[in-house]
Structure 1
Amino acid sequence: MTIVARNGGDHTDVVGVYLAFVPPAGSLNPGGCSPIGVSVVGNVSIPARGNESLTSAPLWQCANPAAVDGLSWTLIAIADVHADDFASCATVQQVLSGACDSALSDDDQRLVLASGATWRSLPASRARHHLHG
């Protein structure tokens, strides 16, 4: 998958890009799916009003794919100006509770994901496909 971050500011910034993975059915995780949690995709330098793309290729897998057939993964992409707030965004709980948003709010207003959306879903069947493909 590709994540595109855009810098709406007037100078170059270093940006940390993180992905939070919430498996089908959330924290219950009846399929024993992974990845689960928050990972660092990378840090990039983005020029003023510029875009940068990063890619991530997680190994989608579920120990019991039948338990989550038809359900979706939730992915949350996070852009962190100065790449200095990961400690506040390191767990799914921090991301979902607003703790991550609070940490980002002091210096990250000019940076957005190019799509304008932070929530993405991926059908669990793709994870199952990796197991049986």
Structure 2
Amino acid sequence: SNLTTLVSAVQAAGLAETLSGTGPFTVFAPDNAAFEKIPAATRTALLAPAGKADLTKILTYHVVPGRLTAADIASQAQANGGVATLTTVQGETLKVSAGPNNTWVITDSKGGASTITQADVAQSNGMVHVVDTVLMPN
């Protein structure tokens, strides 16, 4: 219920069929509050037909090929000096590192940070990690 804005965005971008495909995918899913951090005018523009290309770029930036659990991400970070670098379906990278109070923080291409608030939500075609901020590609 806290991902209804994301579901609407996925439908507006025409990605529902892709993301319900065989996968496997790992999705960093912004919750409704994450979308509320984006100015209302920007949200409206992204969800309009004219914003579909930009919306698709943003949404595919939240998807990584493969099924990565929090333990997998932690293992990658540990093996790489504390930072896991993940290449997204969109083509750019996300950097995941340990944050305060046993959290994981994702840094996007623009230097923005998002915290994983709920990890390891298993799906039939991959893994979902709920995040508190929409990640932005360049």
TM bracket (short chain):
under 0.3
Relative to its length, the structure with more helix (as a share) is 2
Bigger relative contact order, structure 1 or 2 (CA pairs below 8 A, ≥6 apart): 1
TM-score (structure 2 length as normaliser) = 0.25
